[in-house]
Amino acid sequence: MKKLSIHIRLLTVFTFIVLFALFFWRQIFAGEVLYCCDNLLINIPSKVYLVQELKSFRFPLWNPYIFSGTPFFADINNALLYPLNILYAIMPPFRALPSVIVVNFLLAFIGTYLFARRLAMSQFSGFVSAVVFAFSGTMVVYTNNAPMIQVAALLPWVLWSTDRFLAFPSGKTLIVAVAIAVLQITAGHPQLTFYTWLLTVAYAVWFYKKKAIPLVLLFVLVVLLSAVQILPFLEFVLQSTRPLGDYAYATFDSLNPLAFARLIAPPLSGNLSRGYAYFFGGSVYGYVGIAALFLVFIAGWKRKTVSFFAISFILAFLLALGKYTPIFWMAYHLIPGLGSFRSPQHFLLLYTFSAAILAGFGIERFRSLRIFIFGVILIELFVFSRNNLLTAPYADVLQWMVTTEKLVAQFGPIDRENSRIFVDQNVLPYPDARGWPFNDMPGETAWAATILRPNLNMLYRIGSIDGYASMVLRKYQKYVAPQTKDPTGVDLKNVSPETLKTLGVRYLITKGTDGKLEVKELSGWKPQKAVSLPVPTSIWFGLIISIIGLIATAGIGIMWKEEKLSSKVRLKRQGLR
């Protein structure tokens, strides 16, 4: 019997490896690159800058190359403490990026499988849950922004480790739970981390009502250990364009009720990988397939575990609708911190994960047809989720960078420390765009490289008064462009020559009278004097608190011995709910 169990596990691992290779065959075997969107403009430049600074034996607290200088480490979305950043030090950046993303898909699969097994699912059912979550449209959409998939991949791990700790409180399970939660915080994207903890706390209350003290201890230790990142982040938030927003801010980019159609039939919204988007940007965000949804609704919601995820499935979808339902309005007023984030449709992460767990329970109701149903799930996910898997040949990406280098060469000798450039925002729109329903993402990305769109200037250590980041210093935005509404940038379409001169702009990238791109050197330019900035108090304070948290976690972990339990009690706590 034991030998058979080992064979089943080996078969499970082998099957996933095959599916994994098929899903990402272009990235693994053809060497294609996940190039799009925030990956190109934020993640690649920030990781290259991080590695450059570390090689010079400096840790980059400040980024002098966008927005005339802005906090770097304090922007948690840069995920500077995330361990997989080491890949950028040993691989070319456009090779490291897809490697990081593929590894996170693997983590998402393993984490979901382990958590499903904690819920007493069979190996096959756990495998189904893991496939639905890992290959969902939600996870594929996150490939366009590395911090999002880094955080999302750890959601099942946070639940798994927290559940183990609350079921078997001990120093060992505490350390594992704390380590995974801290890892998720360092992975970036605080909004998805916040949502993860909403689900985790609800789960703990649902199943472990008498374990409030261990849960609070876990939370306190996580906050203490993460203080070195959290405190600078909070300080930046208070001085940024993203403070606690109003209801209009919090409901920006709510999921349109009509978008439910894409959760059933993704072709209705388009196919971004093939260059067209009919509605809702061609997104497959939230897609798990019709077969998986069928399993969700037959999972048998009376069971306590199933009922929890059924409720979270429904609530997450209603919350994703944001301004279109009163549910989000109530949550906005009842849940502290919820108003700090915009785009409620990110609740689709919890919707997707809950659907994956329910699908695992649902397929347990079948015996003879379960292989057939699983096959339908695979076909749906492989055909439609990959609609948002935006990749390009590595050679094409390198050619885009060649055009960038040609533009940089036109600057001539440039004082990288004391002068800045400005890309005329009137040249930002892709000139060859064909309009609805076409969406030429490779062409738009190539154009961004051609004009040295911020933040690509960071790759050449050239400063810009413009930029793109999760947050901008509020004083800078008000000084340079007070009319700006987007919290991720500055509106400089009508910037005055006096402002350019004041900000130390030496080179202007714009269109000439013939309509072609040209570089102009502005007259009257004066070098800006570089100023050394002290390390913010929040970082020193956070470092001290993190050290205290590390000592406390280690001390508790060593002293807290696991409780001796009878086999009957242990079996019950292992997941037979």
| CB distance 339 to 247 below 8 Å | yes
The more confident residue out of 343 and 533 is 343
- The CA distance from 565 to 492, in Å, is 66
Query: What's the pLDDT at 565?
Result: 56
| CB distance 100 to 146 below 8 Å | yes
pLDDT value at 560 more than 70: yes
Given pLDDT bands bounded at 50, 70 and 90, which one contains residue 141? very high
* pLDDT single digits (tens) 520-548: 888 877 777 667 678 899 999 999 999 99
Mean pLDDT value across the chain: 90
Cα–Cα distances (Å) from 472 to 78, 238, 243, 424, in that order, read 13, 11, 11, 19
- The CA distance from 449 to 400, in Å, is 6
What percent of the chain is predicted at pLDDT more than 70?
A: 94
pLDDT value at 4 more than 80: no
What percent of the chain is predicted at pLDDT more than 90?
A: 66
pTM: 0.94
* pLDDT single digits (tens) 479-528: 999 988 888 899 898 888 888 988 889 999 998 877 788 888 888 777 77
**Nearest to residue 240, comparing CAs of 486, 465, 491?**
486
The more confident residue out of 412 and 100 is 100
C-alpha dihedral (511, 515, 518, 523), degrees to nearest 10: -50
* pLDDT single digits (tens) 280-339: 788 899 999 999 999 999 998 888 999 999 999 999 999 999 999 999 999 999 999 998
Q: Is the peptide bond before 455 cis (omega within 30 degrees of 0)?
A: yes
**What count of residues does the chain have?**
577
Query: What's the pLDDT at 576?
Result: 46
**DSSP letter (8 states) at residue 56:** T
Sign of the Cα pseudo-torsion (331, 336, 339, 344, in order): negative
26 Cβ partners below 8 Å, 6+ apart? Answer: 32, 389, 391
What is the average pLDDT across 244-262? 88
- The CA distance from 56 to 346, in Å, is 38
pLDDT value at 567 more than 60: no
pLDDT value at 350 more than 80: yes
* pLDDT single digits (tens) 152-194: 999 999 999 999 999 999 999 999 999 999 999 999 999 999 9
Query: What's the pLDDT at 31?
Result: 84
Cα–Cα distances (Å) from 270 to 44, 277, 280, in that order, read 27, 4, 9
**Nearest to residue 141, comparing CAs of 16, 48, 263, 5?**
263
Query: What's the pLDDT at 484?
Result: 87
CA atoms within 13 A on the CB side of 268: 9
388 Cβ partners below 8 Å, 6+ apart? Answer: 137, 140, 141, 143, 144, 272, 273, 282, 283, 284, 285
Amino acid of residue 161: S
Sheet order of strands, 517-521 included: 463-464, 420-423, 505-511, 517-521
Amino acid of residue 242: R
